[in-house]
Amino acid sequence: MGILLKQIRIHGFRGLDNIEVDFLPTTVLVGTNNAGKTTLLRALQLALSNSHQISDDDFFFSDDVLRDKIIVDLLFISVNDAGEQVNIFEDKWATVFTENRISLDSDGNQTLSFRTIIEENLIRKTYRKKQFVIDEWNEFISEDGTHWYENEYDNELSFYFDEIPFFYLDANRDILDDLKSKTSYLGKILSSINYEDGDKELIEGLIRDLNKETIERSEVLTNLHTTLEELDTAMDNPNSTVDITPFTKKLRDLNKGVKINYSQFAMEYHGMGTRSWSSLLILKAFILQNMNLANEGQVAYYPIIAIEEPESHLHPNAQKKLYSQINNIVGQKIVSTHSTYIAGSAKIKEIRSIVKKDNSTLIGKIVEDELTTEEIRKISRQVINTRGELYFSKVIILCEGETEEQALPLLLKKHFSKSIVELGIDIVGISGGGNYFPFIYFLKNLNIKWFILSDGESDIIKKIKKDYKKLSKSTDHVNDIVLPDNIIHFENEDDFESYMLKNGYQEEIESCLETILNTDDLDELIANKNGSSKGRIRTDDVCETCVQNIFVEDLRDYNGAEGRVRALNDLLSHNKTKYPSVLSELIYNSDKDLPPKIVDLFNKVNEILNP
């Protein structure tokens, strides 16, 4: 059994005025710059450490409000080895938290929660930190409209809450700084080195012999030592007290001269990527050492580690390995990142998206209990396929097939004169109509703007309505569901290809077919297939002899303008794996205007990108 920091609430701190975030043993925060990821980590530091360097700029302000108080509430729960909440704290944690600070939630489970308040002392012009025990963890907004931060508590702590070790690793970490400081995690590790008396005597004897041998085998050092002995003559010292020690003389001085080399070179010769990563691993070693000591003493130990941008300065291949190394650190990890590789490696339930909207902040997450195992698998596969890019998209367009998935990036470039990378747009093909729900659920819950461009077949539209009904939790009949403006579909049973044919791109489609079919005479190819059988179809006529429905040949009719369109559609449908890239390039290079439905979609996307 153990504990878990289950929730944090923040009011009035920097850009976060009123948010609630829940955590898992490992939680990964994603969002754009200035969304509030670092602020959330700093709020944890305010509550869990004695450090509270505050200035006027740390208080939330907007055009309408200026806060004069920072409030941070934390909620801890007891969990079993599987991470599931249990109703009581184990004895060693109950001893740490003390009975007078432990309370019960509405389900009878023991919890520990406390509030941190930062206010300005107007007389001294300083900032005072106060902490209170929360006797009841109230709703974020109660039924009467009271916000959580409006509740007041009287049980003030006489000393800051620091029973749970808290570590903050900022983005500017550098092992060179660790090597120089006795108070760094590395310095603390080295200063805690202890040897048995016999071992200490043996090692210092070996060092003494090594120093002596090193000097005697070097003419330079021998001459230096002989010359320095003249100090004894000058100082009237009868004893020889000059001592050159190329290596540390006493084990107690071990931490003063320690060097860490990597690939045969000292850390000074490595770049920031190696040094930053090394600093993270030093913290990992320090925490593991403390955990071992706690286990030996049978005392409670569960640190909370806030890690800011662990990917700093690292090559993408190195970033891919970071998540697993962080996940294996003892304790609860809360990580802020801009790395698609770290986010893509995390479990989808561990992701928390932070999104700014006007003067408010939206927190997004995936609740796996609301999805089937297959839906979770589909989302996870798409996250992996895009290497986590979905988490950082400004807009995502969902479509059905490979043609749209390859064509839309070029059509967007044709419309905006920018690539989808520059625009921050991702195109996701869902491999067939009716598979939208897991994706629109994922995007809605993470507050990512999304659109659907769909074929117009009635069965597919019905499936989309069913998915949207499930997403919106509507009680209306599927047929009565009105699709929102961000779902755009073709009409009259058209798919992407037939829609483009009807809207001026027949020439490009014919040119595409000539290329992939390696023919200079498309007319002849169509003429040869005209009147041929597509297969046998059942009629309503009944045979008088066997009393069964009569089947007849279904003949291709490619006559006239409409017949030619049918021919082109048939040829495309038989070559689906060949034409998407070729057709996309031809449409992109055309000087024709894009069709109305495509323009409508792109105009709505532009409203998101340029509000």
Closest by Cα among 72, 79, 55 to 160: 72
Q: Is residue 561 part of a domain?
A: no
Residue 247 and residue 206 in one domain: yes
Q: Could you tell me if residue 29 is inside a domain?
A: yes
Range of the structural domain that residue 443 is part of? 370-517+575-611
**pLDDT computed for residue 132 by the predictor:** 94
Same domain? 34 vs 142: yes
466 pLDDT more than 90: yes
pLDDT in tens, 96-129: 998 889 999 989 999 999 999 999 877 667 888 9
Pairing of strands 2-11, 19-22: antiparallel
Q: Residue written as tokens 């930053």?
A: 276
User: Residue 29 is part of a domain; what is its CATH number?
Assistant: 3.40.50.300
* Count of domains for the chain: 3
Average pLDDT rounded to a whole number, residues 503-529: 91
CA 23 to chain centre: 13
Q: Structure pTM?
A: 0.85
The answer to whether the CB of 428 falls within 8 A of the CB of 396 is yes
Whether the pLDDT of residue 25 is over 90: the answer is yes
Tell whether the model's pLDDT for residue 258 goes beyond 80: no
Residue percentage of the chain with pLDDT more than 90: 52
Average predicted confidence (pLDDT) for the chain: 89
Q: Are residues 132 and 10 in the same domain?
A: yes
Per the domain annotation, does 296 fall within a domain?
A: no
Task: List, for residues 535-555, the tens digit of each pLDDT value.
Answer: 888 888 888 888 888 888 888
Q: Residue 285, Cβ neighbours under 10 Å: how many?
A: 13
Residue 428 lies in a domain: yes
The pair of structure tokens assigned to 356 is 């700014």
Q: What is the mean pLDDT of residues 13-37?
A: 94
> What is the tens place of the pLDDT at every residue in 307-352?
999 998 888 888 988 999 999 999 999 999 999 999 999 999 999 9
Residues 483 and 610 in one domain: yes
Looking at the fold, whether 139 and 89 belong to one and the same domain comes out as: yes
Residue 197 lies in a domain: yes
Residue whose token pair is 């491999």: 431
The one-letter code for the residue type at 426 is D
Q: Does the pLDDT value for residue 11 go beyond 90? A: yes
Residue 554 within any structural domain of the chain = no
Residues 317 and 461 in one domain: no
Closest CA to 176 of 258, 252, 85, 275: 275
